[in-house]
Amino acid sequence: MTTIFDQLESNVQSYARSFPVVFDRAEGAAIFDGTGRRYIDFLAGAGTLNYGHNNPHCKAALLDYIDADGIAHGLDMHTRAKAEFLQSFKCHILQPRKMDYRLQFTGPTGTNAVEAAMKVARKVTGRHNIVAFTNGFHGVTLGAAAATGNQHHRGGCGIGLGGITRIPYDGYLGSDLDSTQLLQKMLLDNSSGMDAPAAVIVETVQGEGGLNVASAQWLQALQAICREHGILLIVDDIQAGCGRTGSFFSFEPLGIQPDIVTLSKSLSGMGLPFALVLIKPEYDQWQPGEHNGTFRGNNHAFITAKTALDTYWSSPRFAQDVQRKAALLHERLTAITELAAPGQIHTKGRGMMQGISFTQTQLTDAITTRCFESGLIIETSGPDSEVIKCLCPLTISDADLHAGLDILSACTAEVLSEANLLAAAA
């Protein structure tokens, strides 16, 4: 059955190369191929399926909605589905956190939300420059790609990517450099060559960049600098948000209040295309329709997103359970790192976006390939694919979580052992 893909699908496809089977159905943390084989999914749509495949609450609500001829597509007109989502978002997310944001539904992709966030920041400030960080990933349309660090994606653009000043992320040069000091010095220096920025765009954990974690202290310093210089602080919470780190927004425990937040991926609750930009009211200076797009405000996603909010965010229980699993995950990953000689591998990340970083970067592909053969779907991240990243559904059962980690542990041990034998033989 792969014939039709080989015949017709563009060479651009990527994940299908790592997992060369045809998938058929899925539920929770499990995904099944056409032969019925069950895989535990530690990729979960690259962080899109925080509530699992076909989350039963979302699924039921969506079936009801479609069955009743609920509006599937309404441009950005008012619909009941949108009203109900707004109500839930206000009630379960904004009000409990004492947050005051306007919601912009952009085209239903993360990159579109990032483009909108960057645009409105430029518009509000009248400045064109935006500060982005080493190893940041924000999307591949031209505006977002300029902020993205990855050369694979930048190089594909075929045209100069401008309007960005790149600053080292927290810890980029080890503990020697506090890069907020560099930023501050350049902003205060009239001939630093840094044009006054409209915004800083930052991920609190760099998902694609290799699970690099920014400290609360560094982020607070960053925010203070932004406030001092009239720079808007954009947190790109597309991968780290929606509960992935143990709170709805990744920045909640970090003592910062971004001016703009981008959300997408798991926001719809069921993997449907959806994206949202939160903007402090004073910066919501859009003209009507200035940033538009056919699919902004996906009504099916309003339904499933509202259901996910009602189900998981009306009490602290879900977040607490995520935190519990994150601790468990950390413990087991740490145990795996002890399989190797000190310094060879170590854990990285925060909450339920943790992984293992390898010094010998060629090993990670061997491990993930072996995991897939053993029934675990898991992927790498980082500039050299040197980090194996666990992004399983937050709703995963403890049994599946342990089973997945058992596979990862065994495959890592095997590959490391083989590598050591080879090294000894050489």
d(CA 92, CA 102): 15
426 belongs to the binding site for its own copies (CB under 8 A): no
- State which of positions 31-50 bind its own copies (CB under 8 A): 31, 34, 43, 45-49
68 belongs to the binding site for its own copies (CB under 8 A): yes
Number of residues that bind its own copies (CB under 8 A): 156
Q: Select from 35, 36, 289, 423 the one that contacts its own copies (CB under 8 A).
A: 289
10 belongs to the binding site for its own copies (CB under 8 A): yes
CA dihedral 202, 203, 206, 208 (to 10 degrees): -90
Residue entry with tokens 């599937």: 72
320 belongs to the binding site for its own copies (CB under 8 A): no
Residue entry with tokens 């053993």: 374
d(CA 387, CA 354): 9
- State which of positions 246-265 bind its own copies (CB under 8 A): 264-265
Closer CB to its own copies, 270 or 340, in the complex: 270
Label residue 210 left, alpha or beta by phi (over 0 means left) and psi (-120 to 50 means alpha).
left
Q: Select from 98, 191, 422, 423 the one that contacts its own copies (CB under 8 A).
A: 191
Quote the DSSP letter at residue 267.
G
Nearest-approach distance from CB 223 to its own copies, in angstroms: 21
Closer CB to its own copies, 149 or 246, in the complex: 149
Residue entry with tokens 């899109």: 48
Q: Select from 37, 38, 96, 185 the one that contacts its own copies (CB under 8 A).
A: 185
Nearest-approach distance from CB 55 to its own copies, in angstroms: 9
From residue 76 to residue 115, the character string flagging contacts with its own copies as x (rule: CB under 8 A) and all else as - is xxxxx-xx--xx-xx-----------xxxx-xxxxxx--x
Quote the DSSP letter at residue 352.
T
Nearest-approach distance from CB 254 to its own copies, in angstroms: 23
Phi, psi of 183 (to 5 degrees): -60, -45
57 belongs to the binding site for its own copies (CB under 8 A): no
Closer CB to its own copies, 76 or 414, in the complex: 76
Got the DSSP string for 209-244?
TTSEE--HHHHHHHHHHHHHHT-EEEEE-TTTTTTT
d(CA 213, CA 376): 25
